[in-house]
Amino acid sequence: MVARYERIAEELRDDILTGVHPVGSQLPTEAELATRYEAARGTVRQAVAVLVAEGLVGSRQGARRIVLGRARSQSFAELHSFAQWARANGHRFGGQVMGQRRRDASPVETARLGTDEVLEVLRLRTLECEPVLVERTVYAGWVAGAVEALPPSCESVTEALYDSIGLVFAYGEHLIDAVAAGAEDARLLGVRRGSPLLRQRRITTTHEGRPVEWSEDRYRAGSVVFSIRNSIDANPLVRQAGDLRFGA
Amino acid sequence: MVARYERIAEELRDDILTGVHPVGSQLPTEAELATRYEAARGTVRQAVAVLVAEGLVGSRQGARRIVLGRARSQSFAELHSFAQWARANGHRFGGQVMGQRRRDASPVETARLGTDEVLEVLRLRTLECEPVLVERTVYAGWVAGAVEALPPSCESVTEALYDSIGLVFAYGEHLIDAVAAGAEDARLLGVRRGSPLLRQRRITTTHEGRPVEWSEDRYRAGSVVFSIRNSIDANPLVRQAGDLRFGA
DNA sequence: TAAGGGAACTTGTACAAACAAGCGAGCACA
DNA sequence: TGTGCTCGCTTGTTTGTACAAGTTCCCTTA
């Protein structure tokens, strides 16, 4: 059962995408939408709030809402999982484990993941058969077994872990910056040492806030771009100085 | 007059920050909070929704809400304006115009900004007296005059434009990736040519959705990091393949 | 012609009530 | 012992109402 406001949001999103409400135009008023969809004003407000949060619509008190853009935000899964993102966007992709070992957690890792033992995995990911991403992931001890049981060429670790032990990745914190390719990066990605890479470091947790993994992903320059929309009201992305957290 | 739900959100945020509600703990139920703050449940829900959107609190139907983290999202202004971000975070900073000229808009720029004439500005920004950012901005023709009237060492263009002509930057779209430093970048930032830079391209518009500026900012590696929190429910950041939009 | 004041319109805030849906603990039964 | 089910708790959805606050546009007035 999908909520009413979600269906209304979906219809409005479609109308924006198909040009019924072109970029730059005004959205109908809440009262009009309420009449059209035979819903209470509060329900319509919830629907529009979804689009505002996605950055598609701008809103401020007293003025009619305005269509800002058409691009649609992707799901958490698509940001989190390379496989799910690539699949949703129609790319050919692959993955291969290049190395894997259990070891004791460093003090930093213990603080981050809350376990004494960790599993360290090095993966290389390809897009359209080109290597684009080096993924260095450290899993908390309590999922290590399930990860080790996966085949080395497993396409989507996220999906595989859900299937095998019902693990759901629910929350993530991401840090994004640029670094120079190290010797190993360069060899794996087929670029020169020192060439620019886009780095995404992240910690992922379950619904309960229990840390599952800590990962450092390095993308070959030009292969992927992160995109965000923000407004004076809603602002999810944050800029920080230097390497404050997450260590070196 | 600050809204009730915002004051409640503020108090809850403080409680999280000061450890009254530690990371990993459960937040009080809506009913408890409603009693405590003598507000309707709906108002409390609005307050908590703010914290959920900020990524501080996780929420799902049926289960008690959980505190995920303490870091606070910064405002739109702080993401958008280097000066406002630096000031809010207690950094010493500066800026200097290195070049500026009016010219006809390219076809791409006309499509983006909606004007035939543009003003191109090259700025160098410093943090703690170190050059960290090269900013190449193209302003729409209708703000060119106001921008040219600013002093070359103007610290905050955003604030200056608001003061002089009441211009409000309201919405932004950002693309983030990594590039190699060009000859000019290298000279200005004091790094070697080809060394990694974090690139942030953005378009900013007014409340009405009217484009004001198109900018490409290049940060020296290690100087700044972009940070984001997302969840299975709320996901503002998006990953894209290659250079799809915004051209080269 | 330009500035100012209002009136209509539109979005934002707050409260109240009722039901739906998911979670988790405890209990009963095999 | 442990499996499954039920019941209470908690969050999610929807409607209705009333008022607050900001915008926009028109009309008056200097």
**Which nucleotides of chain D are near protein (any atom < 7 Å from a CB)?**
9-17, 20-24
- Residue B239 sits at φ, ψ, to 5 deg, of -110, 135
ipTM of the complex: 0.80
Q: How confident is the model at residue B246 (pLDDT cuts 50, 70, 90)?
A: very low
Chain A residue numbers touching B237 (CB-CB < 8 A):
79, 174, 226-228, 236-237
> Which amino acid is residue A229, in one-letter code?
R
Q: Are residues B98 and B18 in the same domain?
A: no
Pick the range with the lowest mean pLDDT from A47-51, A230-234, B79-83.
Answer: A230-234
Report how many domains make up chain A. 2
Element of type H or E holding A11: helix A4-17
Pair (A133, A155) in one structural domain: yes
Closest CA to A67 of A12, A8, A5, A4: A12
Cβ contact (<8 Å) for A127 and B241? Answer: yes
> For residue B247, what pLDDT is reported?
43
Residue B189 and residue B86 share a domain: yes
- CA-only gyration radius of chain B, Å: 21
A44 and A132 co-located in one domain: no
Residue A148 sits in a domain whose CATH number is 3.40.1410.10
* Average pLDDT, integer, range B60-75: 77
Whole-angstrom distance, CA of residue A83 vs CA of residue A67: 31
Q: Given this model, what pLDDT does residue A34 score?
A: 94
B158 and B132 in a common domain: yes
Residues B56 and B82 in one domain: no
Q: How many residues does chain A have?
A: 248
- CATH classification at residue A12: 1.10.10.10
Q: How far apart are CA A200 and CA B93, in angstroms?
A: 26
Give yes or no: residues B43 and B121 share one domain: no
H-type alpha helices, A120-216: 141-148, 157-165, 183-189
Distance CA A111, CA B226 (A): 22
Chain A interface mutation, best of B84, B225, B232, B246, highest count of A Cβ atoms under 10 Å:
B225
Whether residue B150 is contained in a domain is answered as yes
Domain that holds residue A90: 76-220
Task: Return the exposure string of A187-205: e unless at least 16 CB atoms fall within 10 Å of the residue's CB, then b.
Answer: ebbebeebbbbbbbbbbbb
In a domain? residue B239 = no
Q: Is B164 within the bounds of a domain? A: yes
Nearest to B228 among A67, A174, A197 (CB): A174
B102 lies in some domain: yes
Going from the C-alpha of A1 to that of each of A43, A64, A171, B13, B199, the distances in angstroms are: 16, 31, 24, 33, 43
**Contact criterion met (CB < 8 Å) for B229 and A174:** yes
Among B67, B89, B115, the domain boundary falls at B67
Q: Does one domain contain both B86 and B13?
A: no
Mean pLDDT of chain A: 86
Quote the tokens at residue A213: 């993994």
> Model confidence at B33, in pLDDT bands (50, 70, 90)?
very high
Residue A151 lies in a domain: yes
Question: Domain boundary residue among B38, B67, B96?
Answer: B67
Q: Tokens representing B139? A: 């302003």
The whole-number Å distance from B49's CA to D1's C1' is 43
Tell me: the pLDDT tens digits for A197-238? 999 999 888 877 788 899 999 999 988 888 887 776 655 545
Please, what sign has the CA dihedral across residues B7, B3, B208, A7?
positive
Residues above pLDDT 90, as percent of chain A: 45
Please check the confidence at residue B114 and state whether its pLDDT lies above 60.
yes
Q: What letter would DSSP give residue A130?
A: E
CB contact under 8 A, A76 and B180: no
Interval A55-63 mean pLDDT: 86
| Same-domain check for residues A209 and A108 | yes
- Alpha-carbon separation of residue B19 from A207, B16, B51 (angstroms): 21, 5, 15
Instruction: Determine the residue of chain A that is closest to B222 in CA distance.
Output: A242
Residue A103 lies in a domain: yes
The secondary structure of B38-106 as a DSSP string is T--HHHHHHHHHHHHHHTSEEEETTEEEEE-----PPPHHHHH-HHHHHHHTT--EEEEEEEEEEEEPP
pLDDT tens-place string over residues B136-191: 999 998 889 889 988 988 888 888 888 788 787 878 888 899 999 999 999 999 99
Q: Do the domain assignments include residue A242?
A: no
Q: What are the chain B neighbours of A207 within 8 Å (beta carbons)?
A: 58, 60, 63, 66
Residue of A nearest to B244 (CA): A225
pLDDT at B27 over 70: yes
Best mutation target, B45, B179, B208, B228, to test chain A (most A CBs within 10 A): B228
Task: Dump the DSSP string for B145-157.
Answer: HHHHTS-TT-S-H
Contact A228, A237 (CB under 8 A): yes
In this complex, the answer to whether residue B228 has its CB under 7 A from any atom of chain D, a nucleic strand, is no
B105 domain residue, yes or no: yes
- Candidates A82, A138, A151, A147; CA nearest to A112 is A138
Beta strand A238-241 with A224-231: parallel, antiparallel or unpaired?
unpaired
The count of C-alpha atoms lying within 13 angstroms of the C-alpha of A232, restricted to the half-sphere facing its C-beta, is: 15
Shared domain check, B102 and B179: yes
Task: Tell me the CA distances in angstroms from A78 to A226, B4, B112, B239, one per residue in order.
Answer: 12, 36, 28, 8
Q: Are residues A37 and A159 in the same domain?
A: no
H or E element that contains A5: helix A4-17
My answer on whether B61 and B117 are in the same domain is no
| Per-residue flag: B156 CB under 7 A of strand D | no
